[in-house]
Structure 1
Amino acid sequence: MTSRQRLTLTLLLGSQFMLAVDFSVLNVALPEIGNNLGFSLGNLQWVSTAMMLPSAGFTLLFGRLGDLAGRRKMLLIGMVLLAAGSLVGGLATTPAMLLAARVAQGLAAALATPAALSLLLTSLPEGPLRARALGLNGTLISAGFTVGAIFGGILTSLLSWRWAFFINVPVAVAILLIAPKILAESRGERAKLDLPGAATVTTGLLALVYGVTAAGQHGWGSAAALIPLAAAAVLLAAFWMIELRSEAPLAPVQVLRRSSVKWGNFGGLITFTMESSVIFLLTLYLQDVFGYTPLETGFTFCGIGVAAFVGGMTAPRLIGRFGNRTVLTCGLLLQAVATSLLFLVGNGGGGALTLMLAASSAGAFGHISAIVGYMVTATSNLPDSEQGLASGLASMTQQVGITVGIPVLSSIATARAAASGSVLNGIHDALLIDAVVVLLGAVIVRAGLRRD
């Protein structure tokens, strides 16, 4: 890399890492936030959901807007919104004020994530160099969720949960000052924005994420879940029909039909959805079965972070030798096998902890390998003019997967635990279903890519 490319990579990866940290940094502080601001126990989940909803719902739209208006501009707007939202969140005195700040952070993530990824892709030539950068990107995104849990525990224990917000402000300001000096603005396209397509896909994704989240809280048969899920199905079907007929589609159907785009994003959805669920289930296991504190739980996940880092460094080399599609499917297979081994974890003791750490670390290695494989697969062989769309799709896959995985698997674990009277039984059943889904996903992705 040239020195300018190194600076560009450092800046863009730093922004991605910071946004990933924001998704998990408040999780361990939720009880204290509830006590300080007056959240009821049932409404605490909205501290996380308020960020996840706009992040998942607007990513595709903002990714396309980056193609039209300029990706650097979208990144800078995202950083301004992140700094403002973080400042408001740190000063929040009411639940409404905090939730508004989290919505601003979610919109910032939807603006900055696809913009940073597409700037990264267009600043490096397709091949080993880009694959290595995507490996670092996947590593830092995954590490961000783990670091967020650890960092949130440290800040909450030593200072206050408010510093989990305040810490973003100087970082966002630094990016705002440096980015215009080292990032070149992408040339915007002369095309109209597909407003009907933008409206249907954005509201459809918002309805989907809200419906799945409500199902995890109220049950899959509740009206609170069924109504938004039905609306999501109608809106997303309408989006597809609009894109078939639009003169300037938000997401051209010929791009969505590309085998690499379609099956690459499907593999990414599977790996993100199921791995986020594994981390959640292991958190329950460590705290409810082992009796760990949130801070001890965060430090226990350091092994997963190390394995993820090694996977991110190794995956580009594996892609260079075996190809991105092989690395994607083999990463999913390793994630499935490692998750199935967690089914053998018992009620406690050194042997159970050793097995959990070994299996979860192997699963993290497979997970990161699958992330790098899906990123390379879903963004390769496309012109620079379509990289904003491809990056938006890849980022949307990531955000939706992270958002919907935990409610689905947690509802399974909760139902089984209630029926059997054992938290461990609920965790076991959810982990087994997780492993089966990833295994089937690997088989489907392999078959789909082989036909290409």
Structure 2
Amino acid sequence: MTTDTAARTAPTTATGTPPDPAAGLPLRARLVLFLLCAAQFAVALDFSILNIALPTLGHDLHMTQANLQWGMTAFALPSGGFLLLFGRIADQVGRRRIFVTGLSVFTAASVLATLAWSPAVFLAARALQGLGAAAIVPSGMALLTTTFHEGPQRDRALGVMGSLMALGFTVGMVLGGVLTETLTWRSTMGLNVVMGVVVLVGAPLLLTESRNEHRSRIDVPGAITVTGGLLALIYGLSTAARTGFGDPAVLGSLAAAVLLLTGFVVIEARTAEPLVSLRVLRRPTVAFGNLGGLGTFAMMSAVVFLGTLYLQQVNGLSPVTTGLVFGVMGVSCAISGAVAPKVVARIGSARTLVLGLLVQAVLTTLLVTAGPGSLGTWIFMLAGAAAAFGHLAAIVSYSVTATSGLPDDEQGLATGLVTTTQQVGMTIGIPLLSAVASARSDALRSAGRTLARATMGGVRLGLGVDAALVALLALTVALGLRVLRRR
């Protein structure tokens, strides 16, 4: 497999529109494919649909602005922290079993989130949703790659999943606004219940069990240290958004994260059957590909969160209008999903990854110029859509780069790392930039600025830091993958 393999993952017709991605697959294979994609779609939908509802939800449940990001972080914390562990457990005890179990937890938690009567109940439900997602994502991906053989069939299946993930983001943004304004924010969580029930009915009928033939021992010390390290990291960053980085609890949590993740690396280097093979991680394509993916997910998720605050709390847009603004970004992502494979085929996945990151960085910089008023909204919508185009190109190319040139017995680990990168990226970006923005907003409020102007100042600083980090990341990935080409 070369770095250009993903050029086949999202084929297009001569007119530039996607063909029927399931064409040529048997009926049962189509049903399995769309069942698995529906579960992944629900997870993507869950992320974007709630983002629009956060301001309304916060007002209803009496959550402060600094705590709003916990509505996203409470989900992403367990989904990122437990993903590697659940992926390995699924390999051992059965992927369908873990998939159905995770989906059951996700659906039940969605019922609790719909009925939540306090911030504590809602955040607990979100954490349970994240725990379910941590089981759904790796087991669902493994079921897909084991059901469809490598080559055109698997490429077609991965193309469908990628397209639906982009569609989930778009639909979530639009539906989040419509449902929040016409019904209540609770209806956004209720939609997850409906989708979860549908997939749960079909899963036992269509999915066959699969597991690794070689029943290796689960690396318990590695699982404990990596899970604990990720949880400590995410908790520290999330708490910093509320109390600042000088808080002893934040510093202690971040220090614990460093110690635990360092211990994880030491353990993986010495164990016979590691949770994550360091030999695979030492491959430049795997290391720098996932680094690029981590950054693009983290920084774009922060753009969406900060943009929601800007559009609703500064410009006073309704949830529906906010959803439509982000819907334009989603359409841009869908277009990029069709174009990016062609770019990968022409210039290679590594260069496409760097190019996508640069586009995201430059256009995020333009978002800083958006100010109060309708002109600012137009700037945010158009520049945000262009940034989203680069973001999706980076997603396509990082997935290809990070899974290229590996033997079949290492593909499971590689895809697990790709999905972990996605979940952790979505987790750390919001609390990190939220901490930056909140600190600036609080300082401006203390100086006598109005709430709207203080929020605008915080959002601008957050977006500026976001753009700078993406640009630095693009340079780092470019240098790392240039070393690879010289070899």
TM more than 0.5: yes
Question: 5 Å matches for 1:173-212?
Answer: 173-188=197-212, 189-212=214-237
Q: Give the aligned partner of residue 224 of structure 1.
A: 249
Separation in 1, partners of 2:332, 2:124: 36
Q: Give the aligned partner of residue 19 of structure 2.
A: none
Q: Give the aligned partner of residue 82 of structure 2.
A: 58
SS in 1 for 2:82: helix
Separation in 2, partners of 1:87, 1:411: 30
CA drift at 1:237: 0.4
Answering whether residue 406 of structure 2 is matched by residue 382 of structure 1, we say: yes
Q: Give the aligned partner of residue 16 of structure 2.
A: none
Q: Counterpart of 1:360 in structure 2: which amino acid? A: G
Deviations 1:298-347 (A, max 9, x none): 11112111101101122222223322222211111111121122233344
Separation in 1, partners of 2:361, 2:209: 41
4+ long deviations beyond 6 Å: none
Q: Is the 8 A contact 2:178 2:323 kept in 1?
A: no
Separation in 1, partners of 2:478, 2:197: 43
Q: Is the 8 A contact 1:131 1:372 kept in 2?
A: no
Q: Counterpart of 1:262 in structure 2: which amino acid? A: A
| More displaced stretch, 230-239 vs 249-258 | 249-258
Separation in 2, partners of 1:30, 1:278: 15
Separation in 1, partners of 2:334, 2:67: 35
Give RMSD over aligned pairs: 2.5
| More displaced stretch, 295-304 vs 62-71 | 62-71
Q: 1:202/1:144 Cα in 2 relative to 1: closer, same or farther (>3 Å)?
A: same
Q: 1:33/1:440 Cα in 2 relative to 1: closer, same or farther (>3 Å)?
A: closer
CA drift at 1:368: 0.5
Which runs of 5 or more residues in structure 1 are unaligned? none
Separation in 2, partners of 1:341, 1:318: 24
Question: 5 Å matches for 1:197-346?
Answer: 197-346=222-371
Q: 1:128/1:433 Cα in 2 relative to 1: closer, same or farther (>3 Å)?
A: farther
**The one of 412, 419, 423 aligned to 1:395:** 419
Q: 1:209/1:153 Cα in 2 relative to 1: closer, same or farther (>3 Å)?
A: same
TM-score of the pair, normalised by structure 1: 0.91
Which runs of 5 or more residues in structure 2 are unaligned? 1-23
Q: Counterpart of 2:399 in structure 1: which amino acid? A: M
Deviations 1:236-279 (A, max 9, x none): 00011011111111111112212221111100011011111112
**The one of 92, 99, 103 aligned to 1:75:** 99
Query: Structure 1 vs Structure 2: percent identity of aligned residues?
Result: 49
SS in 1 for 2:368: helix
| More displaced stretch, 425-434 vs 195-204 | 425-434
Deviations 1:113-137 (A, max 9, x none): 1122233334445566655654553
| More displaced stretch, 211-220 vs 427-436 | 427-436
Q: Counterpart of 2:291 in structure 1: which amino acid? A: F
CA drift at 1:5: 4.1
Q: Is the 8 A contact 1:134 1:376 kept in 2?
A: no
SS in 1 for 2:276: coil
Separation in 1, partners of 2:82, 2:252: 21
CA drift at 1:51: 1.5
Q: Is the 8 A contact 2:35 2:203 kept in 1?
A: yes
Deviations 1:352-404 (A, max 9, x none): 44332221111111101100111122223334443332222212211111121
SS in 2 for 1:247: coil
